[in-house]
């Protein structure tokens, strides 16, 4: 390859490499890197899609973090803050989470409930 072409391609390669990094915004997370049970990873995707725009601190939470911060209670969705805040989506009660965003679907709510029910 000619020297001039190599010099011209260098900035392109650099830009492409820069684009390979993680992109963070209010609606994305490292869910693909989440570790834990299949139920936790699925629930964490729902949280990433529906909750992180306001609750960005939850981005790096592990299952243990959700428990220790009293956001969920093992095997007890009805005693779990996170589940109770989204549960109103069943009834359409105004003010339930997520505020100012579309409600969670029944399938998304079920993923959260399944995760909490299966925490060991």
46 in Cβ contact with 104 (< 8 Å): yes
Domain positions in the chain are: 24-117
Instruction: Locate 42 and state its tokens.
Output: 């699925």
Core vs surface per residue 6-39: b (16+ CB within 10 A) or e: eeeeeeeeeeeeeeeeeeeeeeebebeebeeeeb
What's this model's pTM, rounded to 2 decimal places? 0.68
Give the closest residue to 120 by CA, choosing from 58, 72, 78, 82.
72
Stretch (H or E) spanning 24: none
pLDDT grade for 76, boundaries at 50, 70 and 90: very high
With a pLDDT cut of 90, the percent of the chain lying above it is 44
Q: Quote the mean pLDDT of the chain.
A: 76
């Amino acid at each position: 390859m000619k020297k001039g072409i190599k010099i011209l391609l260098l900035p392109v390669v650099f830009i492409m490499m820069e684009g390979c990094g993680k992109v963070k915004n209010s609606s994305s997370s490292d869910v693909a890197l989440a570790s834990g049970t299949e139920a936790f990873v699925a629930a964490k995707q729902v949280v990433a899609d529906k909750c992180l725009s306001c609750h960005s601190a939850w981005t790096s939470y592990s299952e243990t973090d959700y428990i220790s911060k009293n956001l969920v209670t093992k095997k007890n969705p009805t005693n779990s803050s996170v589940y109770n805040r989204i549960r109103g989506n069943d009834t359409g009660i105004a003010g339930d989470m997520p505020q100012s965003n579309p409600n969670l679907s029944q399938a998304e709510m079920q993923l959260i409930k399944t995760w909490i029910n299966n925490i060991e």
